A and B are shown apart, each in its own frame.
Chain A
Amino acid sequence: MKQPIFTDEQLGIRFKNGDAEAVTLIYERYKSGLFLFCVRLLSDHAAAEDVVQETFVKMIAERTHLKNPGSLKSWMYIIARNEAFTQLHRKKGIRELNENDENIFQSDPPLTEFESRERAVILEKMLDQLLPQYKEVLMLREYESMTYDEIAVVTGTTVSAVKSRLFKARKALMERLEPLQKASAL
């Protein structure tokens, strides 16, 4: 028998009221996106799994704090994001963000090393090198199709900061990919 499709709000209400089945449905709906978001932020599969698990532990424990059941997804991403950043701080520390800083990469991946590889692999490596504050906005926009407002809520910043970070991240990636494009055209 086919399961009825619930909206986020319906799921949120059921979850808040202590429906264990709602947890399973939420997990099934968002596991791929949430896991991908955590993997990209942490660049570590095992750590990402831990963060997803911890997110659900916290969600269950603090379900009464979910004020608006319709914003279940944002709330879940806020918890996951905070958990991932805690892990990043613990692991290597995060550079204090200077919005005016032109360099938005954590380190400089030597491009020549990747020249012979596939474009997607190169891009994945570049993503890994992005500062997490830029990486998160790009992930939430490109893979989760969140609006600027939603991203601002999840990341705890302003809409203008989201737009600016998104633009800088895209520009930096485009600039780094450009030489490869030229090389492949030759």
Chain B
Amino acid sequence: MTQNEELLQRCFDGDVNDEEMKNLFVVLCKDGGLRNTFRSLQRLRRDLHSIPVPNVSPALDERIKTLNKYSLLRLLPDRPSLKKFAAKKITMSVPAIAAALLLMVIGSYFAATTIEVTPKPETEYVYVVEMPAYVVQSSYQTIKNN
């Protein structure tokens, strides 16, 4: 694209100031080829706008309507409390990182140390396996007398 062609296009798209417009007018008076290009551009624009425009189908209207209806929840205004929470950032990054490292070191020390567990003293249980017959007899007599 030459400089004149660029100027011509900008003029065609309404992107020039008065000074540039004057310059282009001078160039157009001298350059027949550029005048032809300008005419072709005008014709092309007319043709482009003569192409039938496809209509938006009622089905699409309905789809957007439904979409809008069911997205009402998503359209609810943001909750300020959540927003405030989300906006919170760790500003003291260096102390935070230092604290995290310290925790890691302490944690690894404890992980490496084996903790000695002292065994609990065994409890002695006395099981009554069999009751002597005289005890049973005497108990029976006592209950009977009472």
Query: Who on chain A is nearest to B52 by CB?
Result: A120
Interface: B135 (CB within 8 A)? no
Q: Are B45 and A142 in contact (CB under 8 A)?
A: yes
Give A170 to B38 CA distance when docked, in angstroms.
Answer: 11
- Most chain A beta-carbon neighbours within 10 Å: one of B13, B68, B75: B75
Give A153 to B41 CA distance when docked, in angstroms.
Answer: 25
Give A181 to B44 CA distance when docked, in angstroms.
Answer: 11
Interface SS of chain A: helix
Q: Are B44 and A57 in contact (CB under 8 A)?
A: no
CB-contacts of B31-82 with A (<8 A): 37, 40-41, 43-45, 47-54, 56-57, 59-61, 63-65, 67-68, 71-72, 74-78
Give A129 to B61 CA distance when docked, in angstroms.
Answer: 29
Neighbouring B residues of A142 by C-beta, 8 Å? 45, 48-49
Min CB distance A55 to B, Å, is: 10
Neighbouring A residues of B10 by C-beta, 8 Å? 163
Q: Identify the B interface with A (CB < 8 A).
A: 1, 5-6, 9-10, 13, 15, 37, 40-41, 43-45, 47-54, 56-57, 59-61, 63-65, 67-68, 71-72, 74-78
Known: A49-B57, A60-B68, A177-B44. 7 other contacts (CB 8 A): A35-B56, A49-B63, A52-B56, A57-B67, A120-B51, A123-B48, A167-B1
